[in-house]
Each structure stands twice: as structure tokens, then as C-alpha cells.
Chain A
Amino acid sequence: MSVDTATVAKIASLARIKVSEAEIAAMVPELNGILAWVEQLGEVDVSGVEPMTAVIENHLRLRADVIDADPLTGGGVRDAVLANAPAAEHGFFAVPKVIE
């Protein structure tokens, strides 16, 4: 499989990365080179093989059902959450208007 300019434009849109036509033109051969190389995986017989889900056996833990058991990751830290926001107003993240 290979990608063309329309596909690269679509991927960039899905990835929310603005790209110029010149950048797309440069990316097409680069991505095709990489995709052609990874396609050798198709040679591998994977019949009956399960896809990897956990590289080291582990069990999924549940945390104790306690509010703010770990104060660091609990609630009530609004100012810390907003501290690095490019724009924060009235205790919220601010973004351009999304409803006309």
C-alpha cells in the first residue's frame, strides 16, 4: 500500500497538523519509503498468534474507592491544573468560540 497527496492531506487532517502543499509533497515519498519497508511484516506467518497486549504479565489494579486517597492526583487543585494554560479565564481553560 502506498499513500498519495490526498491521503497524506487526510492523515494530516486526522492528526490535526497543518501542512502546506509543499510539505505534503515532501512527505509522500518519505512515508511511502517507510511504509514499503514495514510491509515486510506481511511475510510473517501469524496464523494462530494473538496480538501482544501486555509485554510483562501484570494484573489490572483498581484503586481504593476513596476520594483524594493520593492528594497529588486527587481533586481540588484547580490552580495547579490551570497554571500552565496558554489562556485561562474564570477558573477554566479558554479556547476560541466554538458555538456561533
Chain B
Amino acid sequence: MTNLTELGVAAIRDGVADGSFTALEVAEAFNANVAAAAALNAFIVATPEAALDAARATDARRAAGQPLGKMGGVPIGMKDLFATKGVQTTAASHILEGFKPEYESTVSAKLWDAGAGMLGKLNLDQFAMGSSNETSYFGNVISPWRRSDGGNAPLAPGGSSGGSSAAVAARLAPAATGTDTGGSIRQPAAFTGISGIKPTYGRCSRWGIVAFASSLDQAGPMARDVTDCAIMLEAMAGFDPKDATSLDMAVPEWEANLSGDLRGKKVGIPREYRMDGTDADVLASWDQGIAWLKDAGVEVVDVSLPHTKYALPAYYIIAPAEASSNLARYDGVRYGLRDLPEGANLQDMYAATRADGFGAEVKRRIMIGTYVLSAGFYDAYYTQAQKVRTLIAQDFRNAFTLCDVILAPTTPTAAFGLGDMVSDPLAMYLNDVFAVPASLAGLPAMSVPAGLNREGLPLGLQIVGKPFDEQGVLNAGLAIEQRAAFSAKPERWW
């Protein structure tokens, strides 16, 4: 019999629909893999019963001859940033430990309506702040990948969607939700040899997603290939009146329109992304990606994104500023943790609760955000950063007069070791150097696996598209996928 956990979203959906296997068999197989992978710490909470219930519902619909939905019979992992009714939702923080939402996020509700089931809530960097999944209150996620040198050094699965990337790479789930504020879907996807797409800002509703930086946060799918991402994104996207920035546009049929034939398309290569310090293998994979896209029929053009070097510093003003405001809601009054020292007044309670409930990186970003928004510094930091953001978006608009999509590396290096970067927040931030510009401009962007580096670790290639052109991004991703024929997977040690 087929090893069901080797199947992706499309294969499971189609196999359940044509009766090759039942949704229940699929859910049981993935539940077993989740239960056997505690060493990866990818899940904060496993919900095997939820997966089985959804599977039984799908099997019953099939028996009754009813449509099964875009994700019918597909069990998925849910990043623990999405509010799930009655199931603990923590954002990997102590301050939300035990919080059981009374409502379901729009994106997760859409996935359940499309026939998906929940395997559990996935670990992440606390409040999605981090690039290595080392800031979770519930411990590090360990990447299923190891270097080919025979050493067993635990590696970072990337972040913030590190539980999602580890779970998909390790075959604990065929797909998972991610969220991307400054690379949190693409960077972990690249580190673990999977695909992930952040759609245009506003495609997926933010309602019910624990907020980090509201002008940047976007949900998206993480899966093993481009087709699976297209299917799942269709199920996640769509207008939601409950999100003021939701796009009131029809959801395109991304899956049906997938094509790796790129004849007549132009691909831009941003010269500013050839940075000092970028790993030689990463640069080689970029050149290989250019060759693959040429083979798919594109014309390659040189483009310039002159403000690239200012994207990260602008991001590290804007995102903490928004975070300091969004995270003001954690006050020990309405939900989550309360720390009320003996004799404390209300203000003392707020301060004690937040000191106890937030991790070091979250506090650091709240402090930065509070400072850059404070009287006397607002214009010098925040307004300046928002002006630079305008210029970064303008850079992309100019580039897209010359090309249809942009190709770049996803990350400057392959996965680093857990602990290698924690002592230097700035070095950690720099890992998102290629991912952040598209976030600041709200553009659709995806990472697809390109190959392995000299240490046997995956490298990703990033495609950035015009606003609303997820199709162009997915198609270029597919063209790379067809040529890269990436089939490597982590050898099971857990």
C-alpha cells in the first residue's frame, strides 16, 4: 500500500476522492507520525481527534456523493498564531498560555470548510518574532535536517513558521499554514526544502491571527510543492469584511491555471541582491535558477532595487512600532496570564504580567517600538522609515515596468545551527535581508527548493511578483520545480 505520509495535498485530495484510500486512513497515518516526532518539538498541541473527526466527515460526504472541497480529506498543521475555537492558541508565548479562543480565525475556518482537518497547533517563534524558532516559550523546534558531515548538530528550521516547516519537511503533515511578516514563510521553507508562498497583502484575512505588525502580516500555505501551495492558497484566500485591509477581489483559480511554460515572460535579476557575505553555494543556486528559467522560455533582464540595503533597518523600525502597539492588549485583564504581586495596584499588575509573560526578544521589540514612537523621536525614526518604505515599494514598481517577476535567493545562507545566532540579534535579523523588501512592498513572494548545498542542506529560490499576480509567481516556481527535480528529504533520526 502507498505510504500515505509521503503524499502531498493534491495526491491526498485526489486519492480520497477516487477511493484509493479513505480520509480516515490518511489522518491516522499522519497522527502516528506526529505522535512519533516529539523530538522535533514541532507541535505545541496535537489534536489527533480533530483530524479524525474531519476525516470521518469527509468520508461520510463521499459516501453520500457530496462534494469534498478543495482540501477534502487533507489533514494539515495549523501555526499556533491562528485562533482555533476551543483549542489553546498561544503565539508560542507564556502570556497566552491556556488561552482557548471562543472563535475561529477566518483562514482556519475556510480551511475546515474546504475539507481540511487539524493535526495540531504548530510551534513558532514567540509572537512570530524570530528567524530560527528559538524564541518560543515552548522550546526550540529542531529541524529534521542534519548536515551531511555526520555531525548531529541541531539546526534551525527557520522562523517564525519553524514548526510548520519542520512538520512538512518531516512528513508530519502534508501542508501547514504559515504567516509572513518579514520572511516567516519563505525563510523556513528555504531552510527545510519545502515550498511556501506569501500572497499579496490583503489576500488572506488577518481576522483571528494573533497580530504582530498589521501592515505586514500575511498568511500563506507551506507545502511540499508548488501545486499543493496553489490548492491550499485558494482555500485560504478571499474577502473578509472583518479585516479592514482584506482585498475585495475574487480568488483566482491558481491551481487550474498553473503552467511552467514561461515563454514571453521576463524575469528581473536585482543587482543589489549580489551582496558581500552571501554564501557561494547560494549564489551558485541563483545562477542555476536563472538558467532554469531561461530554459522555461523567459528573457532575463537586469533590474535595480536601489533601496534594498535600507529595507531591513526600515523593517526593524516599522515592525517593532506596530508590535508595541498591537501587544499593548496583553494586560492581564481580558485573557491569558495575570501576575498580581501582593499589594500591587493596576499599573504594577500590567508591568508584572508583561514582564513575566513576554520573552526576551518580544520585550526587545516592544522596547524598540515604544522608543521609536515616543515623543521627540517619532519623526526621526518612524516617519523616516515609512518614507523609505514608500521608496522601496517604488523600486519594485519601477522594476516591474521591465519584468514580470523577480528571481533572487530566499536567504543568504542555508540553515544555521541552533544557538549560533542567539547572542547577536542583529546577525539574526540579517538572515531576512532578501525576504523583507517584498514584505514592505506587500508583494506576493514564494520560496521553492533549488537543491542542496555542499553540506547537504536545502537552499531556496525566491520569486517576487507584481501585486495580485500570485499566478505569475506560482508559475515561475513551478518552472523551477520541474527543472530542479528536488527530491531530497531529511533522513529520519527522530
Which of A's residues lie within 8 Å of B, judged by CB? Answer: 1, 3, 7-8, 11-19, 27, 30-31, 33-35, 37-44, 46, 49-56, 58, 60-61, 63, 70, 72-73, 77, 80-81, 83-87, 93, 95-98
- Chain B residues near A49: list those with CB within 8 A: 387, 390-391
- Chain B residues near A7: list those with CB within 8 A: 371
Q: Is B467 an interface residue (CB 8 A)?
A: yes
Are A27 and B335 closer than 8 Å at their CB atoms?
A: no
Q: Is B147 an interface residue (CB 8 A)?
A: no
The CA-CA distance from A49 to B392 in the complex, in Å, is: 11
Within 8 A of A (CB), among B339-397: 340, 344-352, 354-355, 358, 363-364, 366-368, 370-371, 374, 377, 380-381, 383-391, 393
| Count of chain A to chain B residue pairs whose CB atoms are closer than 8 Å in the complex | 171
CB of A90 to closest CB in B, whole Å: 15
- Chain A residues near B200: list those with CB within 8 A: 56
- Chain B residues near A80: list those with CB within 8 A: 102-103
Are A87 and B338 closer than 8 Å at their CB atoms?
A: yes
Q: Is B471 an interface residue (CB 8 A)?
A: no
CB of A67 to closest CB in B, whole Å: 16
- Chain B residues near A11: list those with CB within 8 A: 367, 370-371, 374
Are B316 and A38 closer than 8 Å at their CB atoms?
A: yes
- Chain A residues near B352: list those with CB within 8 A: 18
Q: Is B442 an interface residue (CB 8 A)?
A: yes
Are B371 and A3 closer than 8 Å at their CB atoms?
A: yes
Q: Is B19 an interface residue (CB 8 A)?
A: no
Are A44 and B358 closer than 8 Å at their CB atoms?
A: no
Are B370 and A27 closer than 8 Å at their CB atoms?
A: no
Please encode chain B, from 154 to 174, with 1 for each CB lying within 8 Å of some chain A CB and 0 for all others.
000000000000000000000
Known: A41-B381, A50-B387. 13 other contacts (CB 8 A): A1-B380, A17-B366, A27-B364, A34-B426, A49-B390, A51-B387, A52-B386, A52-B390, A55-B389, A58-B245, A85-B333, A93-B334, A98-B346
Are B317 and A44 closer than 8 Å at their CB atoms?
A: no
The CA-CA distance from A13 to B425 in the complex, in Å, is: 23
In-complex Cβ contact of A95 among B336, B349, B367 (8 A):
B349
Closest to A55 in B: B442
The CA-CA distance from A35 to B201 in the complex, in Å, is: 28
CB of B443 to closest CB in A, whole Å: 9
The CA-CA distance from A44 to B307 in the complex, in Å, is: 8
Closest to B216 in A: A55
The CA-CA distance from A3 to B50 in the complex, in Å, is: 50
In-complex Cβ contact of B441 among A19, A37, A55, A83 (8 A):
A55
Closest to A36 in B: B426
- Chain B residues near A8: list those with CB within 8 A: 367
The CA-CA distance from A42 to B388 in the complex, in Å, is: 10
Q: Is B416 an interface residue (CB 8 A)?
A: no
Given A46-B387, A55-B215, verify A30-B425 contact (CB < 8 Å).
yes
In-complex Cβ contact of B377 among A1, A12, A31, A40 (8 A):
A1
The CA-CA distance from A12 to B324 in the complex, in Å, is: 11
- Chain A residues near B377: list those with CB within 8 A: 1
In-complex Cβ contact of B364 among A31, A53, A54 (8 A):
A31
Given A16-B351, A98-B345, verify A37-B367 contact (CB < 8 Å).
no
Are A41 and B317 closer than 8 Å at their CB atoms?
A: yes
- Chain B residues near A33: list those with CB within 8 A: 425-426
The CA-CA distance from A73 to B383 in the complex, in Å, is: 33
Are B367 and A84 closer than 8 Å at their CB atoms?
A: no
Are A18 and B387 closer than 8 Å at their CB atoms?
A: no
- Chain B residues near A42: list those with CB within 8 A: 380, 384
A-B contact pairs, 14 of them (CB 8 A): A14-B370, A18-B351, A33-B425, A37-B316, A41-B314, A43-B310, A44-B391, A58-B245, A58-B247, A70-B242, A72-B103, A81-B334, A87-B338, A96-B340
Are A96 and B201 closer than 8 Å at their CB atoms?
A: no
Please encode chain B, from 194 to 215, with 1 for each CB lying within 8 Å of some chain A CB and 0 for all others.
0000001110000000000001
Within 8 A of A (CB), among B216-253: 216, 241-242, 244-245, 247-248
- Chain A residues near B385: list those with CB within 8 A: 38, 41
The CA-CA distance from A42 to B380 in the complex, in Å, is: 8
Are B313 and A96 closer than 8 Å at their CB atoms?
A: no
Are A55 and B440 closer than 8 Å at their CB atoms?
A: yes
CB of B69 to closest CB in A, whole Å: 21
Are B370 and A15 closer than 8 Å at their CB atoms?
A: yes
Are B426 and A27 closer than 8 Å at their CB atoms?
A: no
Are B336 and A84 closer than 8 Å at their CB atoms?
A: yes
- Chain A residues near B247: list those with CB within 8 A: 56, 58
